[in-house]
Amino acid sequence: MFRGLRKDIRAIRERDPAARSSIEVLLLYSGLHALMFYRVSHWCYTHKLFFLARLISQFARFLTGIEIHPGAKIARGVLIDHGAGVVIGETAEVGEGCTIYQGVTLGGTGKDKGKRHPTLGKNVMVGSGAKILGPFTVGDNAKIAAGAVVLEPIPEDATAVGVPARVVRRGNKKVTADLDQVHIPDPVAQELCKMRFQMEQMERRIRELEQEKEQTAGAAVSAQP
C-alpha cells in the first residue's frame, strides 16, 4: 500500500510544477486524498461491502469535491489535478500515468447493465471540463482537449477536440507527457477557414464572369453600325 502511495505522490510531483514537496502533496492535494479514499472503498467493494464502500466514497466526495465510484478501476500514478467536479463512474477504468483535470466526467449512457463507462489507456491526458461518455476505449498517450465531449473510441497517440470530439492529430511515435491544454488544433476554426477560402474563390469567379459579361456587351455595342 505504501509503495503504491509513494508512486501516486511521485506522479504528482513529476507532472505538477506547483508541487514543492512530498509532504505538501500528501497533506494538501485533494486529488491524492480522493484516490486514497478510493483505494479503501474499492477494497470494500471487491469484498462485497457495498454499503460501506459507497459510504466512504460519498464521504470522500464531501471532503474533496471528487466523486469516484468504488467499483471503478484506477491504476497507480494517476494525477487528478485540482479535481473539483471530477466524476468517475462505476465501470470506468483509468490506466497508469493518466492526468485528469477539474470538471472531467467519465460517464455512461443509458441504464444498461454491465460495462457502460469508458476505459482510459496509459498516459492519457483529459483536459478541464471534458466529458467521455460510453463503454469504449481511449488509447494510450491520447489527449482530450478541454471541453471536449467524446462519444466514440479514440486511437492511441491521438488528439481529440470539439463537441462531439473529433480526432485532429495522430502521431506515429509515442507522445511525451505534454500537459498543454491550449495549443491544440480547433476543428471548428479549421472548417470556418476552409469555408472562407471557398467563398473568396466563388466571389472572385463571380467578378470574373461579370467582367466577361461587360466586355461581351461592350463588344456587341461597338459592333453595331
pTM of the model: 0.71
- Domain identity same for 97 and 42: yes
Q: How confident is the model at residue 192 (pLDDT cuts 50, 70, 90)?
A: confident
Average pLDDT for 29-44: 93
User: What residue numbers bound the domain in which 219 lies?
Assistant: 186-225
- Domain identity same for 177 and 196: no
Average pLDDT for 51-61: 94
CATH number of the domain enclosing 35: 2.160.10.10
- Domain identity same for 142 and 99: yes
What proportion of the chain, given as a percentage, has pLDDT over 90? 48
Helix/strand/coil (H, E, C) string of the chain? CHHHHHHHHHHHHHHCCCCCCHHHHHHHCHHHHHHHHHHHHHHHHHCCCHHHHHHHHHHHHHHHCCEECCCCEECCCCEECCCCCCEECCCCEECCCCEECCCCEEECCCCCCCCCCCEECCCCEECCCCEEECCCEECCCCEECCCCEECCCECCCEEEECCCCEEEEECCCCCCCCCCCCCCCCHHHHHHHHHHHHHHHHHHHHHHHHHHHHHHHHHHHHHCC
- Domain identity same for 159 and 225: no
- Domain identity same for 116 and 70: yes
Q: How confident is the model at residue 176 (pLDDT cuts 50, 70, 90)?
A: very low
Give the pLDDT confidence of 83-129 residue by residue, as tens digits: 899 999 999 999 999 999 999 999 987 666 788 999 999 999 999 99
- Domain identity same for 23 and 118: yes
- Domain identity same for 181 and 170: yes
